[in-house]
Amino acid sequence: MYDKNNVFYKILQSEIPSKKIYEDGVALAFYDINPVCKVHALVITKALYVDFHDFVSKASPEEVGAFFGAVAKVAKLLEVDESGYRIVSNIGKDSRQEVPHCHVHILGGEQLCQSSK
């Protein structure tokens, strides 16, 4: 069950600020407030899904495809498309997902560690 009391919902509503990178009909991208590497962006769904699993289970294939298209556009805007980057989506308790609104991390700008653990 989606709970609107989360920080990404507030960013979507412009109730709290973010450093926006990109926006279209399905996605909003902004910089992570606490970057773990040189380039650390977040791409969130505009529609209200708890996590990536919830999104893919309920959204249309077109919406899922459009979201991944937005992720690729953001990587290009951030100029990591040629050097390479990692996308990560934390889902639920064991992944330590902090914000219960569907999002993907884009990590890059430098050589990343081998493991995500």
Q: Catalytic site residues?
A: 103
Q: Which residues make up the interface to ligand 5GP (CB under 6 A)?
A: 7, 18, 30-34, 42, 90, 96-99
Q: Could you write out the DSSP letters of every residue in 30-75?
A: EE-SS-SSSEEEEEEESS--SSHHHHHHHS-HHHHHHHHHHHHHHH
**Nearest residue (CB) to ligand 5GP, 53 versus 60:** 53
Minimum Å distance from CB 12 to ligand 5GP?
12
User: Three-state SS for 86?
Assistant: strand
Minimum Å distance from CB 51 to ligand 5GP?
9
**Nearest residue (CB) to ligand 5GP, 87 versus 97:** 97
Can you give the C-alpha Rg of the chain in angstroms?
14
